[in-house]
Amino acid sequence: MNSGILLIDKPIGYSSNQVLQKVKKKLSLKKVGHFGTLDPFADGLLILGIGKGTKLSNIFLNEDKAYVAEIFLGEEKDTDDLEGDTTFKSSQAVSYENVISVLKDFEGQIEQVPPTYSALKHNGKPLYDYAREGNPITKPARKVIIHELKLIEFKFPKLKLEITCSKGTYVRALARDLGRKLGIGGHLQALRRLKQGSFDISDSKSIDSLCEENIISIEDCTNIFDEIFISDKEYADLKNYGKTRSELRKSGYFRGYNNNNFVGILSYSKDHLVKEILV
């Protein structure tokens, strides 16, 4: 079985796991995982790890992401998106100038309270389970980074934003907080993921058009990492012990080569090269 990643353009109406199962069945794959979910109402870039490529999730989950988000102003929902029940409504309108002014408050490092309907755990149980049982749990605010927040279109009560943000950012919470800052409430109405790290929606495939040749190898999908060449002894150590002593003294991930053959992804820690993935 090939190992690597697949870039999928997830359609609206499917959970990330449903897409995963469809791809798994279509290509007769045994081991598949995703690198960050999208809600069923959202679409766009969904990265799937295949075979040993599933181990790349620890690396790619930490990458920045880019989205186009449509926000509906004047109505807040308990889920912070269009699928929830309305908890607040306002008949007040806001101007373009109001929106531009408030957006500035959400750029850079901000604190964000995660939605009560989320997969975050409390005592080992997802928050959405508590919320559905009528006992919503509010988690403490977390620091996230909004690298770029660009207004694409505004026609009250709808506004469209392009957002580039750090790992852990909830765009639903951003929609909620933007509405509250404007004093009229708001919720996320549509979301499309455009980028995750160095991967772009333009390189993705629909489920219907997908074929095995679309699997990007571990070597190719990690070409942003520096190359490192290791000896036969170092390679043997990595296979037998998972690490080998090294004077590299450079943090980060590396594409490892032995006798000019790609052997896997390595990292450097405490005077050792450490095996992340050996192919």
Could you give the residue numbers annotated as active site?
A: 39
Under 8 Å between Cβ of 95 and 101: no
Cα 246 from Cα 229, distance rounded (Å): 12
SS3 call for 115: coil
Tokens of 219: 């070597």
Cα 166 from Cα 203, distance rounded (Å): 21
Please report which residue ranges of the chain form alpha helices under DSSP H: 16-26, 57-60, 96-103, 127-132, 171-182, 218-221, 232-241
User: SS3 helix, strand, coil % of the chain, rounded to 5?
Assistant: 25, 40, 35
